[in-house]
C-alpha cells in the first residue's frame, strides 16, 4: 500500500522505518532537519503535508496538540485515504470525528511504546516490535478502515487490541499518566531529601520507580491535560490507597499493612 506519515518523531519515525519493509512509505515533518534525517534513513520524504495524498492511508503522528489540527487539514482532501492517528488520548479526536466530513474515515492507532529519547534520532522499528497497538474506532470508522488499521499495526510488528475511546482513555490514565505523576513526585521528594554526596545511594528500586519522570515535560503535560477527568479520577483512587497505608503505619497495624501489600503483589503479578 501507499502510506503517508505526518510527523517523523519517535513514534512516526519508528512507524516509517517499520512499515517501509512492506509498503511504500512517504513521510512529512515540519522540521527540515527531521526531513533530512528521515531521507538519509531511506524514507521517501515530501515537502508538504498535502503531498502525502493520494495514499491508501495517512498516519498522523505529530505531537498531541497538533493531531486534531492536522486531521482538520487532511479530512476534506483525503479522498479514499483512511486517516489514522497515534494520539495517546482519544477524547479530542473522537469529538472532532463526530463532526468531520461524512465521507472521510478516521481510526485511532495508538502504539503503546516509548522510551526516554525523542525525535527521529531515537526512532527504530524495534521500538514497536511486539508492543500492543490500540485500534480505536471513531464516528467516522467503517469495517474496511478498521481492518486496514489492524493490518498496518501487525505489519509494524505490533499486537492488535480493539477498544472504545472511553475505555482507551481510562486505561492510559491508569497505566501511563498516573505512573508519570507518581514518578515525578518520588523524584522530587528524593532530590529534596538526599544531598549530593548521597545521590549514589539510589539503587535499582528507586531508579525503576522514577524512570517515567524522564518523560519529556511537553509530552507528559499534554497527556495529563487532554485526559484530565480520567487522570484525576485515577489519581483519587491511587491516593485513597496511600491513605490506607498511612493510617496503617500511624496505628502500627502490621496485619492491615501486610494485607495491602499482599493484594498489591497479586495485582502486580496479574498485570505483567
Q: Binding string, 94-133, against a copy of itself, x = CB under 8 A?
A: ------------------xxx----------------xx-
| Cβ neighbours around 22 below 10 Å, total | 13
Residue 120 is placed in which grid cell? 527521529
Strand pairing report for 132-137 and 159-162: parallel
Query: Restricting to residues 198-237, which ones interact with a copy of itself according to CB under 8 A?
Result: 198-203, 205-215, 217-218, 220-222, 224-225, 228, 231-232, 234-235, 237
Minimum CB separation of residue 265 from a copy of itself in Å reads 6
- Report the DSSP pairing between strands 44-45 and 24-28: parallel
Q: Of 163, 139, 168, 162, which Cα lies nearest the Cα of 227? A: 168
Distance from C-alpha of 187 to C-alpha of 116, rounded to nearest angstrom: 15
As given in the structure block, the three cell numbers for residue 211 are 524512570
Which residues, numbered 28-67, are part of the site for a copy of itself (CB under 8 A)? none
For a copy of itself, which stretch binds (CB under 8 A), given 25-33, 91-99, 100-108, 239-247? 239-247
Residues 153-192 that bind a copy of itself (CB under 8 A): 159, 161, 163, 167, 170-171, 173-176, 178-192
CB of 60 to a copy of itself, least distance (A): 21
Give the residue from 65, 56, 63, 70 showing the smallest Cα distance to 25: 56
Contacts of a copy of itself in 3-32 (CB under 8 A): none
Residue with smaller CB distance to a copy of itself, 43 or 113: 113
Axis crossing angle, helix 10-19 with helix 143-155, rounded to the nearest 10? 90
Which position among 22, 33, 77, 239 is part of the footprint of a copy of itself (CB under 8 A)? 239
Q: Rounded to whole angstroms, how far apart are CA atoms 234 and 85?
A: 25
Q: What is the nearest approach in angstroms of a copy of itself to the Cβ of residue 68?
A: 16
Amino acid at each position: 500500500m501507499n502510506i503517508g506519515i505526518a510527523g517523523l518523531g519517535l513514534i512516526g519515525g519508528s512507524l516509517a522505518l517499520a512499515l517501509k519493509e512492506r509498503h511504500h512509505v512517504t513521510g512529512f515533518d515540519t522540521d527540515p532537519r527531521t526531513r533530512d534525517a528521515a531521507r538519509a534513513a531511506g524514507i521517501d520524504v515530501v515537502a508538504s503535508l498535502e503531498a502525502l495524498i493520494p495514499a491508501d492511508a495517512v498516519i498522523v503522528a505529530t505531537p498531541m496538540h497538533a493531531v486534531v489540527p492536522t486531521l482538520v487539514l487532511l479530512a476534506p482532501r483525503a479522498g479514499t485515504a483512511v486517516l489514522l492517528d497515534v494520539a495517546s488520548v482519544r477524547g479530542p479526536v473522537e469529538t472532532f470525528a463526530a463532526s468531520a466530513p461524512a465521507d472521510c474515515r478516521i481510526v485511532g492507532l495508538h502504539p503503546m511504546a516509548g522510551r526516554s529519547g525523542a525525535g527521529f534520532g531515537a526512532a527504530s522499528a524495534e521500538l514497536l516490535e511486539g508492543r500492543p497497538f490500540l485500534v480505536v474506532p471513531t464516528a467516522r470508522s467503517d469495517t474496511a478502515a478498521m481492518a486496514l488499521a489492524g493490518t498496518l499495526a501487525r505489519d509494524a510488528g505490533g499486537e492488535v487490541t480493539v477498544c472504545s475511546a472511553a475505555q482507551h482513555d481510562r486505561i492510559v490514565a491508569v497505566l501511563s499518566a498516573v505512573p508519570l505523576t507518581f514518578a515525578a513526585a518520588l523524584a522530587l521528594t528524593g532530590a529534596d531529601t538526599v544531598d549530593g554526596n548521597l545521590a549514589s545511594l539510589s539503587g535499582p528500586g528507586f531508579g525503576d520507580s522514577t524512570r517515567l519522570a524522564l518523560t519529556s515535560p511537553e509530552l507528559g503535560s499534554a497527556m495529563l491535560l487532554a485526559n484530565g477527568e480520567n487522570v484525576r479520577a485515577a489519581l483519587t483512587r491511587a491516593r485513597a490507597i496511600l491513605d490506607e497505608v498511612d493510617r496503617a503505619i500511624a496505628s502500627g497495624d502490621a496485619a492491615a499493612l501486610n494485607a495491602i501489600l499482599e493484594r498489591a503483589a497479586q495485582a502486580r503479578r496479574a498485570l505483567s
